[in-house]
Amino acid sequence: MGYMPGVAECALKDNCLVYADIRGYQDKESRAPMTDKSLFRCHSMTKPITAVAMMALWEEGKIGLDDPVHKYIPAFRHMKVVKGKSCEDACRPITLRHLVTHTSGLGYGPSRERKCEKLDKGLYTPFVKRVDAGIISNLKSFCDELATFPLQFHPGERWEYSMGMDVLGRVVEVVSGMPLDRYFRKRIFKRIGMKDTAFSVSAFRARRRLTAYYVTKARSKHRKTKLPNKFSARRADGRHAQFSAWVRGRSLRVLSGGGICGSFAGGLLSSLRDQALFCAALLNGGYSHATSRRVLKSGTVRLLCRDWLRMKSVADKHVLPGWGMHSMGIGWCPVGHWLPERHEMFMGGITTSWSINFSTKIIQVTMTSSSCDADVHGWDDRRDDLDGCIKHALKVCQRKQKRSCKTLLGSSRKFKRSRA
């Protein structure tokens, strides 16, 4: 494990669990072992859940993808765009499609969006601090204040990671008539069987299943020395997990559909098991084998899992090289990054990630409790080569009777802990 206290990862092929590696500790101080139900901060992996919620409302005919945001949040009716030292009127309204594709012109706050430094220091930094302090106490007030900030560019003209998914979360609240957490639970989590996923947990549950660490690197003061860099895993929750910013009563009051709306807090908590179930439902066209229920129609999932940046309806202009990640050959769909050559989709948080390959029918999920500011040494290359482990597991699986996803993920049986 090196300097990482613990990791939980798995792979599924054709709805069958072919590889699982759960090792280390979820709390290294108390020596509590990592399990398939240990809780992790999802951060940006909250975004796909919000996108599914949006498409569920679209399926029911309650929203249109090209509806203006001000139809649901009036504060977004008259938006301004930065132009030099002044502002001008936005040439078009922000639509729901702009929000979900990060082409709205909204920013992402201090440190996460450096292209408008003046906006960061003058508007976004105080804004985020008020979220941290609980002064901004719900999504309505969050969005109403965000709508007073000028946009970085005209909607639909560029791609920039933004707070658009947080605004979309408020749209879901307005249309559904429910708080975001309740709608997620009723419309998505129960249908898929995601029992561990939530915006916050009780202090008792946190003590058993929630701890986070920062893995930091301290360089030697003597530049000429050849001694290796020193690493340490430092608790991010203070002395105890129940002090976490995700514990009920201490958590942010703004339910972040984008995964982070405070300085470093917000978004869902989830487990390896739940994320595997979510990915399996997407791969199966919206159907969950764990519950025998459908969260979305197959046609809706096909629309959801494609490169929306290359769809002409995204904006008035064609998508050009240099549009966000297109310069790297990566597209964007509402549930994550899209790799057209590999027909693969992936999404990651700060310490978590998953990928779905629609050609090979392989799902990979990796969850850790540690965020790093450096490459972490001490890992076993043979075990940390996930692709290699999966290939080996597939060969073994061909010689054994396959067990269904429903048996492995739909029951209370835990993943087997790796002893390789």
- Per-residue pLDDT tens for 322-375? 344 444 445 677 777 777 656 677 777 777 889 999 888 999 999 987 765 433
Task: Give the confidence band of 252 by pLDDT, cuts at 50, 70, 90.
Answer: confident
For 239-350, where are the E strands, in sequence order? 269-270, 287-288, 293-294, 331-333, 336-339, 344-348
Closest Cα to residue 44, out of 247, 328, 336? 336
**pLDDT tier at 419 (50, 70, 90 boundaries)?**
very low
The vertex-140 CA angle with 139 and 141, nearest 5°, equals 95
Mean pLDDT computed over every residue of the chain: 78
- The better pLDDT of the pair 325, 102 is held by 102
Mean pLDDT to the nearest integer, 80-93? 90
Mean pLDDT value of segment 199-214: 70
Identify the CATH homologous superfamily for domain 6-204+245-409: DD-peptidase/beta-lactamase superfamily (3.40.710.10)
Least confident of 134-138, 191-195, 252-256, 395-399: 395-399
What is the C-alpha separation between 417 and 397, in angstroms, rounded? Answer: 17
Tally the C-alpha atoms within 13 A of residue 127's C-alpha that lie toward its C-beta: 21
Environment class of residue 99 by beta-carbon count within 10 Å: exposed (0-12), middle (13-18) or buried (19+)?
buried
Percent of the chain residues topping a pLDDT of 90? 37
- Is 48:286 a contact under the CB 8 Å cutoff? no
Average the pLDDT over each of 105-119, 279-293, 341-355, 379-393 and give the range with the smallest value: 379-393
Q: Which residue has the tokens 């002090």?
A: 243
**In this predicted model, which residue has the larger pLDDT, 419 or 143?**
143
Could you state, in order of their start, the residue ranges of all structural domains in the chain? 6-204+245-409, 211-242
User: What pLDDT was estimated at residue 159?
Assistant: 85
| For range 204-217, the mean pLDDT | 64
Vertex 345: Cα angle to 343 and 348 (nearest 5): 160
Q: What is the pLDDT of residues 298-312, one digit of tens each?
A: 999 999 888 887 664
This prediction's pTM: 0.82
Contacts (Cβ under 8 Å, ≥6 apart) of 37? 196, 209, 271, 272, 273, 414
Q: How many CB atoms neighbour CB 309 within 10 A?
A: 21
The CA distance from 387 to 390, in Å, is 5
Q: Residue holding tokens 């989709």?
A: 345
Q: Give the per-residue pLDDT at 376.
A: 35
- Pick the range with the lowest mean pLDDT from 41-55, 213-227, 259-273, 385-399: 213-227
DSSP 245-267: TTBTTTS-SS--SSS--SSS--S
Q: Quick one: how far is CA 404 from the chain centroid? A: 27
